[in-house]
Amino acid sequence: MRRRDVGRLTAATLAIAAATTVAACTPPQRESVPPVLDLPRVPWEGGPAYWSQFADAENWTDPSFFPIVIWFNGVSDDSEVRWDRAHGVNTYAGMWEGTDFALFPRNDVYWIGEGLNDTFDPDSPHWPGVFLDDEVDGRYSPTEGLTLLRALQSEHGGAGKFTWANFTQLVIGEDLDVRVQEQYVSIPDVISVDMYWYTIPFCDWRPYRGAYYVDPVPEQTCRSASSYGRTLNGLSVRDESDGRLRPRWGVVENLNGLSGADHVRYMAPAEVEGAAMSSIINEARGLLWFNQSFTGDCQSSGVLRQAQIEGDGFCGAEQVRAMGEVNRLIHDLAPILNTQSYVWDFGEGLDTMLKVHDGHAYVFAMTDGGIGRRRLSLPEGVHGTRAEVIGEDRAIPVSGGIVIDDFAAESTFHIYRIPL
| Domain ranges, ordered by start, for the chain | 3-31+341-419, 47-337
Peptide bond into 207 cis (omega under 30): yes
Which of 2.60.40.1180, 3.90.950.10, 2.40.10.120, 1.20.1260.10 is the CATH number of 3-31+341-419? 2.60.40.1180
CA-CA distance, 30 to 40, in Å (whole number)? 25
Which residues of 182-291 form beta strands (DSSP E)? 190-193, 248-253, 286-290
Report the 10 Å Cβ neighbour count for 245: 20
DSSP state letters, 4-73: GGGGG--HHHHHHHHHHHHHHHPPPTTS------SSPBPP-S-GGGGGGGSGGGGGGGSTT---EEEES-
Q: Is 96 exposed, middle or buried (0-12, 13-18, 19+ CB in 10 A)?
A: exposed
Side-by-side strand order, sheet with 162-167: 110-111, 91-93, 68-71, 286-290, 248-253, 190-193, 162-167, 129-134
- The mean pLDDT values, 10 residues at a time, for the chain of 420 residues are 42 46 37 69 97 98 98 97 98 97 98 98 98 98 98 96 98 97 98 98 96 97 98 98 96 94 95 98 98 97 98 98 98 98 98 97 98 98 96 97 98 97
Pairing, β 162-167 against β 190-193: parallel
Strand partners for 190: 164
What b-and-e string marks burial along 152-183, b requiring 16 or more CB atoms within 10 Å of the CB?
bbeebbeebbbbbbbbbbbbbbeebeeebbbb
CB 287 within 8 Å of CB 68: yes
The alpha carbon of residue 259 and the mean position of all alpha carbons in its chain are separated, in whole angstroms, by 22
Longest dimension (CA), the chain: 63
- Of 351, 194, 210, 344, whose CA–CA distance to 280 is shortest? 351
pTM: 0.93
**Cα gap 151→147, rounded to integer Å:** 6
Direct distance between the N- and C-terminal alpha carbons of the chain, in angstroms, rounded to an integer: 20
Q: What is the CATH number of domain 47-337?
A: 3.20.20
Burial letters 291-319, b for 16+ CB under 10 A, else e:
bbbebbebbbebbbbbbbeeeeebbbbbb
b/e string for 35-48 if b means 16 or more Cβ within 10 A? eebebbbbbbbbbb
Specify whether the CB–CB gap between 109 and 89 falls below 8 A. Answer: yes
Task: Give the pLDDT score at 22.
Answer: 37
273, 197, 289, 274: which is closest to 234 by C-alpha? 197
Q: Any long-range contacts for 400-403 (C-beta under 8 Å, 24+ apart)? A: 401/377, 402/375, 402/376, 402/377, 402/378, 403/363, 403/375, 403/376, 403/378
List CB contacts of 399: < 8 A, sequence separation 6 or more. 385
